[in-house]
Amino acid sequence: MSRSLKRVVLVLEALDREYPGAGSTLEYVNPFQLLVATILAAQCTDARVNIVTKEIFRKYPDPKSFAGADLGELMEDIKSTGFYRNKAKNIKASSRLIYEEYGGVVPNSMDELISLPGVARKTANIVLTSGFGKVEGIAIDTHAKRLSYRLGWTCENDPVKIEQGLMNLVPRKWWGEVNHILVAHGRAVCKARKPDCGGCVVEKFCPKAGL
């Protein structure tokens, strides 16, 4: 095992012990609801998304319902999540494709998912991993991006390049968990504005600690 790989594994093991069972905090009952919730979660807290989806999943229970929704009304329904115009357009368009092209069933391959409006690799990875139990990559959101940089795992800024780098660095058995434990640590300790380096279980492995 190389020195860099060993350090990565030690970090992952420490964070896994710190946040046992870490997983998505979005509330959903099927892959389609997870897809919608993940689109809404961009630049929005999961707590706010869960409040919004509790209402809209009653109003629009399936892809057909979202596809037939009045766009202006849907925008109003999700307004509190921010960037609601683009989110509403993407959810409606993706729902139409899922209903018309996939028989109302969310596709379960990376290529098919990223062909849906508003779905990039981050969202696709989340849906595949948490919705279907399939691991094809590593979801890179704002927390994973920030912590990967601070830990010295990447010097890239583009999420796709960060993911490619981590897939070469992180053992495959960890791919499905990396995002969840980095998000948990990012929310609890390694915050964007003021990280609590003194309370960090992986401080000794972090080149940015104290900076």
What are the residue numbers of the active site?
122, 141
Torsion angle of the four alpha carbons 184, 189, 190, 191, in this order, in degrees rounded to the nearest 10: 90
Q: What angle do CA 78, 79, 84 make, to 5 degrees?
A: 85
Q: What b/e string do you get for 100-113 counting C-beta neighbours within 10 Å, with b at 16 or more?
A: eeeeeebbbebebb
Classify the C-alpha dihedral 41-89-74-31 as positive or negative. negative
23 vs 113: CA distance, rounded Å: 21
DSSP string across 127-191: IIIIIH---SS----HHHHHHHHHTTS----SHHHHHHHHHHHS-GGGHHHHHHHHHHHHHHTS-
SS3 content of the chain, % helix, strand, coil (to 5): 65, 0, 35
132 vs 206: CA distance, rounded Å: 33
Q: What angle do CA 84, 86, 89 make, to 5 degrees?
A: 105
